[in-house]
Structure 1
Amino acid sequence: MTVEAPLPADGSVWERLAVLYDRVASVVASSVGTPVLVGSGDCTTSLATVAGLQRAGVSPSIVWFDAHGDVQTLETTTSGYLGGMPLRMLTGYRPELIARRLGLAPVPEDHVVLVDARDLDPPEREYLESSAVRQVPVSALDASTLPDGPIYLHVDLDVVNPAELPGLLFPAPGGPSLADVTAAMGRVLDTGRVLAVGLGCTWHDDSAAATTVRPSLPPGWE
């Protein structure tokens, strides 16, 4: 299904996002117990997905596949791109912006595993070095490196080597193959602890890859 919402014309970007993400969170909350797959063009939708899991009484850990850290803040970003901030917001950064509007509680840093993240800005490196967020390469992700408890599995497809995915908005040279990413996702899903999967598809609108490439998911997650 496609989730839509009428957005306030004069609201701030956070107010507008909150209107849409409140609906997404409600759909996710009502779907817990069946495979929940949320696809979008921006990783900030993860805020709604985690809020929805929490509304259903779940306190999820996070496994976050991304070529980037997504741990920027409004104070450190040089681009102003909100899609570079969601993982930091999920761990409690400035809840007054949107988390409180969604009823989103912070996920403890030691319940978060960041997979790949090969393209980090200096402020992101500084934060990650001092935080309890664990960084793991795709090849090393297995049961021993996963957080405890139920899992929200987030995959920004720019984690894949851009040589295989032309048209990415924010390509990061190098990185794992689509086959390697798919295999690593499978190892997470095989735990039976994944309650929701978020797929971020940040492509140029005219990119053929945007409509033809996606990792293989097991039955029930399609």
Structure 2
Amino acid sequence: MADHGTDGTWNLIVTPWHLDEHIPAFPIPATAAQVSRPVLPSGPVSARMGLLHRAAVDAVTRADRPLVLSGDCPTSRAAVAGLQRRHRDLAVLWLDAHGDFNTPAISASGYLGGMALAMLTGRTPNLFDDTLDLRPIPDTGIVLADARDLDPAERDALTTSHVRRVPADPAAVASALRQLGPVPVYLHLDIDVIDSAQLPGARFPTGPGPSLAQIEECLAAACATADITAAYIACAWLPEHVNDQTTRQTITRLTAALGASLAWHEPASS
């Protein structure tokens, strides 16, 4: 089982990769368990990602209340599949500057990181094998906050879906969660939801948006309103910035808003 956070309420888990690429500098909190990265054979990126997700799902399954720090969004497949092993029903709160609702059929770039939420809804059935036993989350069980940067086809797909969209505002987030009813919630946060001016070195800067303080308020409101059974922070900084001092400070603030207190081995170098 992953080590508990210093407050004893969260199991900290680190998956230090982006898609199929290892991030050697990824910051590891002192109380976190790092998922062992299996040897990846040559082959399609999706097949390599599938092996990484299989390693991560076991760590999530063993954790009482997992808090995952990751380098991408698609590893959320593993987090949700692990949670589904003990929760029949599960809702999703997804805070992101992007919709992550592309599929191979509509994506302009083919970037798999932009399909993560669509993966959870069952819209990418042939992209991975089925070894995770991931059950699709119904659209009606998903709250998508912010999503200010959408591709045209992705926007159309969200419009015709039953995904509930709200601004990244604590009152709006709390209201949407209350409408879901008493169901365990998986909370997913991509750091790029924060205003790019406050995120030096972000992998995908998305311009003006909610402040870090406002996102902290959204996280606190979610925890006060719903049964947040697991949380996931996609630390989408460029590899050369992912371990900066400002990066660690941002991660520390976000996890604190969830009720976790991080400890670091040593100060990060800028």
Q: TM-score range by the shorter chain?
A: over 0.9
Contact 1:7 1:16 in 2 (8 A): no
Secondary structure of the 1:141 match is helix
Distance in structure 1 (CA, Å) of the matches to 2:137 and 2:230: 15
Partner of residue 249, structure 2: 212
Whether 1:27 aligns to 2:27 is no
Alignment-mate amino acid for residue 105 of structure 1: R
Cα distance, 1:134 vs structure 2: 0.8
1:213 is paired with a residue of what secondary structure?
helix
**How many percent identity over aligned positions?**
41
- Aligned residue runs from structure 1 range 93-108, under 5 A: 93-98=123-128, 100-108=130-138
Map of 2:46 onto structure 1: 14
Q: Distance in 2 between matches of 1:95 and 1:22?
A: 17
**Residue ranges of structure 2 left out of the alignment (5+ in a row):** 1-32, 263-270
- Count of residues paired in the alignment: 220
Which segments of structure 1 move beyond 4 Å, counting only runs of 4 or more?
A: none
Structure 1 unaligned blocks of 5 or more: none
Kept after mapping to 2: 8 A contact 1:37/1:221: no
Q: Report the CA distance between 1:221 and its aligned residue.
A: 6.5
SS at match of 2:67: strand
Give the aligned partner of residue 67 of structure 2.
37
Q: Helix, strand or coil: the match of 1:143?
A: helix
**In structure 1, the residue corresponding to 2:210 is in which secondary structure?**
coil
Cα distance in 1 for residues equivalent to 2:57 and 2:247: 25
SS in structure 2 at match of 1:172: coil
Give me the CA root mean square deviation: 1.7
Q: For structure 1, which segment, 38-47 or 136-145, has the greater mean C-alpha deviation from structure 2 after superposition? A: 136-145
Of stretches 118-127 and 187-196 in structure 1, the one that deviates more from structure 2 is 187-196
2:189 to 155, 177, 190: 155
Q: TM-score, normalised by structure 1?
A: 0.92
Question: TM-score, normalized by length of structure 2?
Answer: 0.77
Question: Is the 2:145–2:173 contact (alpha carbons within 8 Å) kept by the matching residues of 1?
Answer: no
Letter in structure 2 aligned against 1:153: L
Q: What SS does structure 2 have at the residue aligned with 1:125? A: helix
Instruction: For residue 99 of structure 1, report the CA deviation from its aligned partner.
Output: 6.1
Partner Cα separation in structure 1 for residue 108 and residue 213 of structure 2: 33
